[in-house]
Amino acid sequence: MRPDSILTLSCPDRTGIVYRVSGLLYDHGCNILDAQQFGDEESGRFFLRVHFDRDAGLPLDIVHASMQSLASDFGMDWQLHDGRRRARLLVLVSKQGHCLNDLLFRAHSGQLKVDIAAVASNHADFSPLAASYGIPFHHLPVSAETREVQERQIIDLVEREKIDLVVLARYMQILSPTMCRALAGRAINIHHSFLPSFKGAQPYHQAHARGVKIIGATAHYVTEDLDEGPIIEQDVARVDHAMTPRELVRLGSDTESQVLARAVRRHVEHRILLNGHRTVVFR
């Protein structure tokens, strides 16, 4: 079976980009399995994702070296990924475990092609859950006085376990600017963005008290600007006057789990390219 790879790139839009990229792959005996592209008139940038396979005797480094010259000609920001490599995840969680439970099941069942290398939390509640999947659990309590030390422990864990993506699965701690910079482009958060007026504790109870008719969730990249990172995935669910706060929590939890799983999938499949503060997400 021929090994597959994924090329992603963005650059100033101009004539000949697809022609040159596809020609380079053809010259190396590669076969394009899927290609998606987008030209953004506002930013003037072009975005491309190409999934291709190659002869088993052709090292990916050879394609990489050829792309370097082409990328220089077009001013490309680009990455070349081995399609067979499974991303390694670190999941951070606090005291709400629905997103963690969903990710663990999807990874274990093969629905999500990732390896969850570790789970870390400022509480010990979900140690048994992680253990049931044979995944190391790290209890890292935190306070205002110990925040810097605790974040250093998380970064050390990321480096030691060669983590590709950190997933904040309802991790109810605000990351410091230093940590946000250390994890730039490789940390995803989930939150109830369709309840923007209901901040703080018990947002679904606040929403119920106001009689909202729609709730939802947003997955986004973590940045120093709290909950304002580039958006990856969103979804909503309709609610009505007959639903209790508990029912809103249940429905919201389901929505959050699904949105986060879709965002993780698109990241590890290299379907997301940054376009300023926005994202291009190829389906």
**Listing from the earlier edge strand, what are the strands of the sheet with 4-12?**
31-40, 45-53, 4-12, 77-82
Rounded to whole angstroms, how far apart are CA atoms 279 and 283? Answer: 12
Rounded to whole angstroms, how far apart are CA atoms 219 and 192? Answer: 9
Helix intervals (H) in the chain: 17-27, 60-74, 98-109, 127-132, 147-160, 177-182, 203-210, 245-268
Tokens 């509480």: give the residue. Answer: 123
Question: Which of these is catalytic: 125, 227, 235, 254?
Answer: 227
Residue 227 known to be catalytic: yes
Letter string b/e over residues 238-249, b meaning 16 or more CB atoms within 10 A of that residue's CB: ebeeebeeeebb
Query: What single-letter amino acid sits at 31?
Result: N
Q: Is 196 helix (H, G, I), strand (E, B) or coil?
A: coil
Rounded to whole angstroms, how far apart are CA atoms 191 and 68? Answer: 38
- Residues designated catalytic: 227
